[in-house]
Structure 1
Amino acid sequence: MYKLEIRNKTAIYLDHRELIKNMYNNDIAVGMEMFELREEIFHFHDRGIDFEDRNAIKRSKTEEYKLAVKVRKSKKRKSENYTSTPELSNLQIIIEEFLHLMEQEKIFKPIENNEIEIFPRHWEEISSEDFPKFNGTNATDAYQRCKFGVHSFIIPPRCKFYNNNVDELTKLLPQLMPTSEFFDLIVLDPPWRNKYIRRLKRAKQELGYKMLNTVELSQMPIERLVHKQSILAIWCTNSQDHQRAIVEELLPKWNLRVLHIMHWVKVNTKGQLIGPIDTSGTKKQPFEMIYLACHLESGKDFGIELQKVTAIFSIPSIVHSHKPPLLPWLKNVLPDNPNCLEIFARYLQPQFTSIGLEVLKLMDERLYSSYKENLA
């Protein structure tokens, strides 16, 4: 994780793969089996034709890959629901300055082999229907495994999970909070209504996930999970409707207020934006939004350090909606050994309780490499 400063603005560069590796393996004893995400998952090249589409083209004999390419190119987005043009122009200038600084700091390590290798899209072989409703805990400092059908999934240390419909969150409260302990950090990556997923589901139903509207999201009992020093992080699309819903509907319902709004900026392996910023606000953008919220009764100075950060930069995974972990950045404003919760989770994290219908989807052992550190 790198902190970058230009004048009075701050940005954070998160190495998604490295952060996961450190979070999973920091407390693993030397000589024990360790895991890290496959390097190929983060070979996100330029977007002339992006990595996913190139893989799809190379695997054109497989119907699933044909569908993936077809869906991505099928329709252009209409002019609606995006940030205004002046804000986008200003954002473009700021991002370009930070990218130039990152180039000078040599943050991006060159990849020796720039040839795009075919990496099987294992995550598209698994849907929520492949998992029963179940929950689990790994309270140890070593990895565990579980198996469903022919697939093996790794369970990192010190985590809990519920493979359960988020609609039933209220019923889970006695298990989530057995001693009335609130959560210090809650991360939400809601399945916002999304044109790409709607088209994908029409092409092949099992490739898409269930989307929720604002009313359905507001029914989650978030207000019963937080205390006055909690932080809620919400991943959001660039839709102004979704952004407005967070501020005007969801947060008031949960007795929360906006603490800070920032951008998650996606760059490729060369340190360039994965696509151009469209200052007209009518096309797909190379960024998403992150909303940080806190309790209505938290102090005015609460989280003031977080408000200095303009953007988070990272190389995205080639897996759709695979978000980087936020705890390594947020932990400085949280208590030691924070109690964390992720809702709509698709992978597990130490110190987290994770809930969702695909909570193990990206824990598929085929997405990871195993290794052992030498005793010497």
Structure 2
Amino acid sequence: MSILCNIYKEGWIISHNDCINKIYNLVSGETSSTHSYVLNNSLFLINTPYIKNEQALNFTLECNETSRPTLNIIEPPKKKVKTKTSPHDYIKVNEVEYVQYHFMKVIQEGQICGCFNYVPCLEDLKSNNLKAREKSKLLYENISTQSASNFHGGNESCNAVISEVENKKYIIPANCRFFCYDVKDIEQNLHRLNCPFDLILLDPPWWNKYIRRKNLKNRKSGYQMMYNKDLVEIPITTLIGPGSLVAVWCTNCESHVNALKTSVFPAWGLSYLGKWFWIKVTRSGKPVCSFSDPPGKQPFEQIIFGWKETKERVLPLPPDGMVVVSVPSAIHSHKPPLSELLSTFLPENPQCLELFARYLLPGWTSWGLEVLKLQDIMLYEQKTEEGS
């Protein structure tokens, strides 16, 4: 189980790492033999909150002058910078307070259940998550980027397999399908899809000024961002039926959230249901950065839910305001799988589709120009008989 703790009416603590490792517990190789694969463990060695190296060094020096280090890192106040960004872009203060309050309740219950019992030491602070950062950088620079050609494939077997695509090796989960196509190409490929889908999950490349500036400096690592109006044009209505759920990963930019509620969901024929909050924490349960007043950075992202209303739906709907807590992967945009959490709200053997996918899940259809990116065999390690 990747759900480590279920806190009634509050949320869940999940393990991204455990979920992936369970998926690849039995992998058929290029011969008749089978092996177990795990994600590189260094990617989840998030031992201390995200801070700058200089700040970590200064804090370490301060701790050396005291009898015992305390790792409650408080970020220095940021200088106010004049910006042209509209106040409507900021998440509301009361929503930040809501998330922080419910996060604390989940963490307290989780610690009773034995979660987040790692105790960071001074060396952890000094290294500033170096193993995770270095491994992430090394792998991200070497794994395949966006493919120059379109292709599709899948794995109909009950075991995960190692497969070669465009001279690169990938690990492909059981009973899945994938399409390396732009989302703009969905309409002309409807005959390839098993519509209607019970659930569609999207992780759009939201328009972001900082990412845009970064991409201008380094186009290789960038991806093509989308405006809110571009999302409206995705033909979701042709992919769903009555009672279907749609979940969208979203930043804390209030204008994006409002666009989903007021223009994107109505264009897709959906009604707004509510939102969840994914909170990123260290191995000891500390948020990876401080909760702060808008427009400061937050340790969480949002998952916005909509659905195709029908009176005939008998399954429960996702409740509003739940929190999902996990140690994040050090790899950029490597979101935790939500399949286990969402199974409660879906029929048995559901039809599920992810758009803008960067990895695959068993039983799912995945679509996007980077659909195999995080399936690259370089991200995984073969598990030995001793379990190392």
TM exceeds 0.5? yes
Asked if structure 2 preserves the Cα contact closer than 8 Å seen for 1:83 and 1:240, the reply is yes
Task: Please tell me whether the aligned partners of residues 188 and 235 of structure 1 are also in contact (alpha carbons under 8 angstroms).
Answer: yes
Paired residue type of 1:34: S
Determine the structure 1 residue equivalent to 2:306: 293
Aligned equivalents of 1:331, 1:48: Cα separation in 2:
32
Equivalent AA in structure 2 for residue 318 of structure 1: A
- Which residue does 1:352 correspond to in 2? 364
**Secondary structure of the equivalent of 1:234?**
strand
Residue equivalent to 1:133: 150
Q: 1:43 aligns with which of 45, 59, 68?
A: 45
- C-alpha separation between the residues in 2 aligned to 1:214 and 1:254? 13
Q: CA deviation at 1:158?
A: 1.2
Q: 2:287 maps to which residue?
A: 273
Tell which deviates more after alignment, 307-316 or 22-31: 22-31
3-state DSSP of counterpart to 2:198: strand
Q: Structure 1 residues 108 and 257, CA, compared in 2 at 3 Å: closer, same or farther?
A: same
- Counting only pairs closer than 5 Å after superposition, residues 1-376 of structure 1 correspond to structure 2 as 1-5=3-7, 9-25=9-25, 32-49=34-51, 78=83, 80=87, 81-110=89-118, 114=124, 116-117=130-131, 118-119=134-135, 120-126=137-143, 128-142=145-159, 143-149=161-167, 151-177=168-194, 181-278=195-292, 280-298=293-311, 303-304=316-317, 306-307=318-319, 310-371=322-383
Give the 3 Å change call, closer, same or farther, for CA 105–309 of structure 1 in structure 2.
Answer: farther
* Count of residue pairs the alignment pairs up: 346
In the alignment, the residues of structure 2 paired with residue 111 and residue 146 of structure 1 have an alpha-carbon distance, to the nearest angstrom, of 41
Contact persistence 2:270–2:308 (CA under 8 A): yes
Q: State whether residues 347 and 360 of structure 1, in contact with CA within 8 Å, keep that contact through their aligned partners in structure 2.
A: yes
**How many angstroms does 1:13 deviate by?**
1.0
Gapped regions of structure 1 (runs ≥ 5): 55-72
Change (3 A) 1:39 1:334: same
In structure 2, what is the Cα distance between the partners aligned to 1:220 and 1:294?
Answer: 16
Partner of 1:67: none
In structure 1, C-alpha distance between the alignment counterparts of 2:254 and 2:305, rounded to whole Å = 16
Tell me if the contact between 1:131 and 1:163 (Cα under 8 Å) persists in the aligned partners.
Answer: no
Q: Which amino acid aligns with 2:154?
A: T
CA offsets 1:128-187 (integer angstroms, 9 cap, x no match):
4445211111111231311434x422212211101111111111111113xxx4111111
| Separation in 1, partners of 2:354, 2:230 | 17
Cα contact 1:77–1:283 (8 A) shared by 2: no
Contact 1:123–1:361 (Cα < 8 Å) also in 2: no
Rg comparison, structure with higher value: 2
Alpha-carbon shift at residue 50 of structure 1 (Å): 6.5
Contact kept, 8 Å, 1:346 with 1:361, in 2: the verdict is yes
Runs of 4 or more consecutive aligned structure 1 residues displaced over 6 Å after TM superposition: 26-31
Q: Tell me: higher relative CO, structure 1 or 2? Use CA pairs within 8 A at least 6 residues apart.
A: 1
Residue of structure 2 equivalent to 1:61: none
Question: Are the equivalent residues in 2 in contact too, given 1:256–1:295 (CA < 8 A)?
Answer: yes
CA RMSD of aligned residues (A): 2.9
Specify whether residues 111 and 202 from structure 1 end up closer, same or farther in structure 2 by C-alpha distance, changes over 3 A only.
farther
CA shift for structure 1 position 364: 1.1
1:68 aligns with: none
CA deviation digits over 1:43-86, x for unaligned, max 9? 123235379x99xxxxxxxxxxxxxxxxxx9x979564122222
Please give the alpha-carbon distance, in whole angstroms, between the structure 1 residues aligned to 2:308 and 2:82. 36
Contact 1:146/1:155, CA 8 A, preserved across alignment: no
Mapped partners of 2:360, 2:323: distance in 1: 24
CA contact (8 A) 1:76 1:283 kept: no
Please state whether the residue corresponding to 2:186 is helix, strand or coil: helix
**Letter aligned with residue 19 of structure 2:** L
Structure-2 change in CA distance of 1:90 and 1:184 (3 Å): closer
Alpha-carbon displacement from aligned partner over 1:80-129 (angstroms, at most 9, x marks no partner): 41222223223322222322332232212538995642315322345644
Distance 1:147 1:175, change over 3 A: closer
The separation in 2 between residues aligned to 1:213 and 1:281, in whole angstroms, is 22
Q: Which amino acid aligns with 1:282?
A: P
